[in-house]
Amino acid sequence: MSRRVQILSLVVGVPLSALFLWLAGRSTDLGLVWRALKAARVGDVALGVAAMCAVYIVQAVRWRVIVEGHAPRRLYVRFVVGGVAVNNVLPGRIGDVLRGVWLAPAEQIPSGRALATVVFDRAADVTALVMLLVVSLPFTVRPTWLLRIALGGLVLALLIVAFLIAARVVARLHERTERVRSRVRRVGRDLLDGLASPPSVGRVTVALALSLAAWGVWTAGAWLIARSLGIELSVLDALLVTSVVNLGVAIPSSPGFIGTYQWLCVASLSLLGVAKDQALAFSILLHASWYVPTTLAGGAFLLVRFMRRFRSRRQLRLAEPRSRAAR
């Protein structure tokens, strides 16, 4: 199933990404874009990158609250960044699925229930971004595409709520009566049970507050990146860019949102009167500010994890002949 999702994502996402990349760079002087990037203030860029990195720490803390976990916070940070790194290079949001796979043994919970916590975690992001868009939308021009993104975000939030209600109803109708041997069906049943048992009101409130804090930090990072290029954004302007870009990446695209990300940045900044060459430079720098650190850090985490599993399996293979000889 995951292979089919990846193939479908590539078939649909890559052409769309190419289209959006063309739209973002159309009638733009790439020489001016390059000059703007070279003239970016390094101090502001460094602070922007630090802010973007801090976002994932806050999101990891939020996920731990949702799980009501006992594993160290640093482990949650590694899982979050590792998942983002996988999404950066593979289609189909496979990194989000892997987060649940990694969490299950760490917290000693079924894989399906671990995946359910990832669903709640992503739902908190969507809810916070919709709230930010509602706050910033009345203070700007509202073209058709922006209203569609706002409507799409609202519909997505409502679909998540409806999906969770449906999961609760189905879980009550189909109570466990027998042991399921199929691993896929067992994971599916555990996922359904997890979705039917949402976090408490207190944990949901804390998770939503942390979501708003995370995207507030992201907004500060975007504001710093813009300032490094000489683009002056107000708080509401930065909130608009934050919500539009991060809700808009739900559009199918290539891994890492290449193309889609650039068009969303250029389109949202054009509403604020920013020149297209500056907007494209902003999109490239903003994209790199989180893409490069997460890919490097997440890649290191995945490499270490792979090496540990390789060594443990090798030790098991070496131990088998010895145990047989002892018998």
Average pLDDT over all residues of the chain: 85
pLDDT cut 70: percent of the chain above it: 84
**97-108 tens-digit pLDDT:** 999 999 999 999
Q: Which of 97-106, 168-177, 255-264 has the highest mean pLDDT?
A: 97-106
Report d(CA 102, CA 120) in Å as an integer. Answer: 16
Q: Dihedrals φ, ψ of 175, to 5°?
A: -75, 160
Alpha carbon distance 92, 262 (integer Å) = 19
Residue 178: per-residue pLDDT: 53
- Looking at residue 167, its pLDDT comes to 67
Tell me the pLDDT tens digit for each residue of 308-320.
Answer: 887 777 776 666 5
pLDDT of residue 48: 96
pLDDT digits over 77-118, tens only? 999 999 999 999 887 788 999 999 999 999 999 988 999 999
For the cut 90, the answer to whether the pLDDT of residue 208 exceeds it is: yes
Q: Helices marked H in the chain — which ranges?
A: 2-25, 30-38, 42-67, 73-89, 94-107, 111-136, 144-173, 183-195, 201-228, 235-248, 260-270, 276-326
pLDDT reported for residue 319: 63
Tokens of 117: 């916590």
**Separation CA 112–CA 259 (nearest Å):** 33
pLDDT digits (tens, 9 = 90+) for 146-162: 777 777 777 777 777 77
**15 or 232, greater pLDDT:** 232
Torsion of CA 212, 140, 228, 230, to 10 degrees: -160
In this structure, of 178-187, 200-209, 212-221, 261-270, the range with the lowest mean pLDDT score is 178-187
CB 280 within 8 Å of CB 261: no
Model pTM score: 0.85
